[in-house]
């Protein structure tokens, strides 16, 4: 008898549990933040997360149909590692069941997540990953920044027109898709501008995490180039420029958007003064009303000037939120379609219109380092 | 290749090699006495660099004082690590203690990420050490000149300690046979602690020199140098102090010359170091200056 009562009680308990766990409507909309927070790219990842968090503080809710949802950020560290990145992305879509993924700093890491978000049909918005392959053949990956064929051309133009350079040497981070891609687009554009098939004297390689570049730089000395293009991770790049100065190389260094992190100046110190690179946004030339909202909020919260990728983090969040509102549904495909047709959305970094590949077509900004700060030089419109 | 470029490459190679040699000595010391490959060596190296960094930036110590504080702190830390992670396993099979070393390495790396943060930090390098000197068209930084001097000085001091002092005799006794040494009234615990102290001190010194030459810190900065210097120690014959120095220089020279003569392969530099390790192990398993031993891990 006692046993029977026990079983009945147990059954009732289980039933109660099942009811409690039943299909209740989700109370929050989840944005997966897929960024490197440790490892070689941690500096860049942290900057983007700042922007996403700021946007989340200013715009914490999203309206789906006529219901207001709170937006919850689920942060996953991809550890600057391609394998870990795949795991982190898998966790976001499988376990956390996020509605959208934002990130990652570093094209290689975004590319590792590509097939995962595609299979799970969860839309991802890249913030500052510029390699064309991130969104190519992947209708679920978008981005709010320009891509490297444009960035490479901008820097080749700068080298050719502003520095009157005729011969260049390229130093690439061979294990980094971003660096290899950008180097190639620079080389193509530079050869075309100079009309010289041999305008690139040499392409030297290094690995992520290397610290000694003296051998490669001694080779550079031999070629006597007019300019050195060295896109790559910020710490390695800063060490390269520092060691180049120590070897007596006075040739100007050009780079890409990854250089704009505080660590670049912190590691390079005086050696990186005067280097020139392209990036996405300059605080000196706020473009839209959103730019002002972003700048005011950022300056008030952090008491410093934001990096371009922080503004992109802010924009990625807003584009995702806007798309969900327009979709009026949390259905994965409807969200995807809504993101894909984003047009003239006023983001902090300018008007955002996504083209058929899912890439934003935007102007580039050229910056330099002066007195230990990143300083705005020029804006280049898309060709 | 012109002569001045070749000279520049040689200078680069010697400066990198001497740094490898410096760190490899610590590896080989511990192995020579305990037959233990201390996989946490690279992480103690990282710890030393961070402690000096905080000494300079937080407490605003002059760089040499920060260096001394860090070395002393790290030496004691190494002794403590041995007490906690290795001593309880001294009589267990070799493999357990080696796995414990790998565990200690991961623990230190994770603690580094937690305490120091995952973002890299720039090291304020003292002006004295970052001055550029030119010899004709060959240039080098003062730190690159100082490192080999220290490497050789330390080599001399260590060889003297091991071969000429009483402690050194005890160390050699422990290295030959722990039980027999204990019977001869050698305080084994003290000798092992002493060895770990010196090994950690060398790692800290190497870490600080590394961070002055490549002024960037991150919690995983010890992994690659740790592996490379382990390779250097094995090439030279692990357990042999002179061998570690020779191996370090050889590795530095080969790495630089590979980039110099085969620039297109410069991305495969690390792979090359590992290939070299395999070749040495196949051809001369005891390393260049190593003695034949019955037992190997």
Residue B297 lies in a domain: no
Residue B68 lies in a domain: yes
Measured CA to CA, the distance from residue A94 to residue A88 in angstroms comes to: 10
Residue B96 lies in a domain: yes
**Hey, what CATH class is A28-146+285-363 in?**
alpha beta
| Whole-number pLDDT of residue A221 | 87
Task: Name A10's Cβ contacts closer than 8 Å, sequence gap at least 6.
Answer: none
Q: What is the pLDDT averaged over residues A211-218?
A: 91
Measured CA to CA, the distance from residue A156 to residue A168 in angstroms comes to: 10
Which of B119, B122, B260 to probe by mutation at the A interface, max A CB count within 10 Å? B119
Contact B267 A222 (CB under 8 A): no
Residue in A closest to B131 by C-alpha: A246
pTM (2 decimals)?
Answer: 0.86
Chain B contact residues (CB < 8 Å to A): 1-2, 5, 8-9, 12-13, 15-16, 113, 117-123, 132, 134, 137, 139-141, 210, 214-216, 218-220, 224, 255-260, 263-264, 266-267, 269-270
Instruction: With beta carbons less than 8 A apart as the criterion, state whether A190 and A168 touch.
Output: yes
| Residue A269 with chain B: CB contacts under 8 Å | 122, 215
Are domains A28-146+285-363 and A149-279 of this chain identical in fold?
A: yes
Domain that holds residue B75: 3-124+137-283
Write the CA distances from B60 to B2, B63, B115, integer angstroms: 45, 8, 20
| Whole-number pLDDT of residue B272 | 83
Residue B247 is part of a domain; what is its CATH number? 1.10.3470
| Whole-number pLDDT of residue B296 | 42
Helices (H), strands (E): how many in chain A? 12, 15
Q: Tell which CATH architecture fits domain A149-279.
A: 3-Layer(aba) Sandwich (3.40)
Residue B132 lies in a domain: no
Of A38, A174, A204, the CB nearest to B263: A204
Task: Name B262's Cβ contacts closer than 8 Å, sequence gap at least 6.
Answer: none
Phi-psi region of A248 (alpha: psi -120 to 50; beta: other; left: phi over 0): left
| Whole-number pLDDT of residue A13 | 54
- The reply to whether ipTM tops 0.90 is no
pLDDT per residue over B125-158, tens digit each?
988 888 888 888 888 889 988 999 989 998 899 9
Measured CA to CA, the distance from residue B17 to residue A353 in angstroms comes to: 53
- Segments in chain B below pLDDT 50: 294-297
Measured CA to CA, the distance from residue A35 to residue A51 in angstroms comes to: 12
Of A42, A174, A214, the CB nearest to B256: A214
| Whole-number pLDDT of residue A14 | 57
Residue B211 lies in a domain: yes
pLDDT per residue over A22-76, tens digit each?
445 567 999 999 999 988 888 899 999 999 999 999 999 999 988 899 999 999 9
| Whole-number pLDDT of residue B21 | 92
Q: What is the pLDDT averaged over residues A144-170?
A: 93
Q: Per-residue confidence at A382, pLDDT binned at 50, 70, 90?
A: confident
Residue B184 lies in a domain: yes
Tokens 């308990």 belong to which residue?
Answer: A13
> Which sequence spans correspond to the domains of chain A?
28-146+285-363, 149-279
| Residue A265 with chain B: CB contacts under 8 Å | 122
Q: What is the pLDDT averaged over residues A254-263?
A: 92
Mean pLDDT of chain A: 90
Neighbours of B88 (CB within 10 A): 12
Measured CA to CA, the distance from residue A120 to residue A50 in angstroms comes to: 27
Domain count, chain B: 1
Pinpoint the alpha helices (H) of A255-288. Answer: 262-268
Range with the lowest mean pLDDT among A113-127, A144-158, A340-354, B123-137? B123-137
Task: Name A75's Cβ contacts closer than 8 Å, sequence gap at least 6.
Answer: A33, A35, A37, A49
Residue B103 lies in a domain: yes
């Amino acid at each position: 008898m006692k046993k029977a009562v026990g079983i009945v009680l147990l059954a009732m308990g289980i039933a109660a549990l099942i009811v409690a766990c039943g299909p209740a409507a989700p109370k929050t909309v989840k944005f997966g933040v897929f960024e490197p927070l440790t490892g070689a790219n941690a500096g860049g990842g942290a900057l983007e997360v700042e922007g996403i968090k700021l946007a989340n503080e200013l715009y914490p809710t999203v309206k789906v149909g006529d219901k207001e949802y709170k937006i919850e950020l689920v942060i996953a560290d991809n550890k600057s590692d391609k394998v870990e990145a795949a795991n982190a992305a898998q966790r976001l879509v499988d376990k956390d069941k996020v509605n959208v993924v934002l990130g990652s700093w570093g094209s290689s890491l975004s590319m590792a997540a590509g097939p995962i978000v595609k299979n799970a049909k969860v839309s991802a918005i890249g913030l500052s990953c510029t390699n064309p392959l991130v969104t190519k053949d992947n209708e679920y990956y978008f981005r709010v920044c320009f891509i490297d064929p444009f960035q490479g051309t901008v820097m080749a133009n700068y080298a050719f027109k502003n520095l009157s350079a005729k011969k260049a040497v390229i130093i690439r981070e061979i294990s980094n898709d971003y660096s290899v891609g950008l180097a190639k687009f620079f080389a193509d554009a530079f050869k075309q501008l100079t009309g010289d098939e041999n305008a690139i004297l040499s392409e030297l390689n290094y690995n992520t995490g290397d610290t000694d570049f003296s051998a490669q730089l001694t080779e550079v000395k031999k070629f006597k180039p007019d300019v050195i293009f060295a896109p790559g991770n910020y710490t390695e790049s800063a060490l390269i420029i520092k060691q180049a100065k120590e070897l007596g190389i006075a040739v100007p260094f050009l780079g890409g958007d990854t250089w704009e992190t505080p660590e670049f100046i912190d590691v390079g110190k005086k050696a990186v003064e005067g280097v020139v690179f392209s990036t996405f946004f300059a605080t000196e030339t706020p473009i839209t009303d959103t730019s002002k909202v972003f700048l005011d909020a950022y300056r008030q919260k952090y008491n410093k000037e934001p990096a371009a990728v922080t503004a992109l983090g802010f924009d990625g969040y807003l584009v995702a939120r806007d798309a969900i509102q327009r979709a009026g549904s949390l259905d994965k495909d409807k969200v995807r379609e809504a993101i894909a047709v984003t047009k003239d959305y006023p983001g902090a970094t300018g008007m955002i219109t996504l083209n058929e590949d899912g890439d934003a077509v935007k102007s580039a900004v050229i910056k330099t380092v002066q007195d230990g700060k990143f300083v705005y030089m020029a804006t280049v419109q898309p060709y | 290749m012109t002569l001045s470029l070749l000279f520049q490459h040689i200078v680069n190679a010697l400066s990198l090699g001497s740094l490898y040699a410096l760190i490899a000595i610590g590896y080989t010391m511990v192995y020579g006495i305990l037959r233990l490959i201390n996989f946490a060596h690279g992480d103690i190296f990282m710890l030393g660099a961070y402690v000096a960094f905080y000494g300079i930036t937080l407490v605003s110590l002059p760089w040499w004082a920060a260096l001394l504080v860090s070395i002393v702190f790290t030496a004691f830390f190494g002794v403590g690590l041995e007490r906690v992670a290795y001593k309880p396993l001294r009589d267990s099979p070799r493999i357990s203690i080696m796995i414990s070393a790998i565990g200690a390495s991961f623990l230190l790396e994770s603690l580094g990420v937690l305490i120091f943060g995952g973002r890299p930090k720039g090291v304020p390098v003292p002006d004295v050490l970052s001055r550029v000197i030119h010899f004709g068209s060959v240039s080098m930084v003062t730190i690159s000149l100082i490192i080999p001097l220290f490497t050789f000085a330390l080599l001399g001091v260590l060889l003297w300690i091991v071969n000429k002092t009483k402690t050194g005799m005890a160390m050699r006794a422990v290295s030959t046979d722990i039980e027999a040494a204990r019977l001869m009234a050698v305080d084994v615990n003290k000798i092992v602690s002493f060895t770990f102290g010196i090994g950690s001190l060398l790692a800290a010194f190497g870490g600080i020199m590394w961070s002055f030459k490549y002024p960037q810190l991150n919690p995983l900065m010890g992994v690659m140098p740790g592996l490379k210097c382990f390779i250097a120690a094995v090439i030279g014959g692990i357990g042999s102090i002179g061998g570690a120095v020779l191996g370090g220089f050889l590795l530095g020279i080969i790495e630089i010359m590979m980039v110099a003569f085969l620039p297109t392969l410069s991305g495969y530099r690390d792979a090359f170091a590992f290939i070299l390790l395999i070749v040495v192990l196949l051809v001369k398993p005891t390393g260049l200056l190593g003695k034949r031993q019955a037992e190997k891990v």
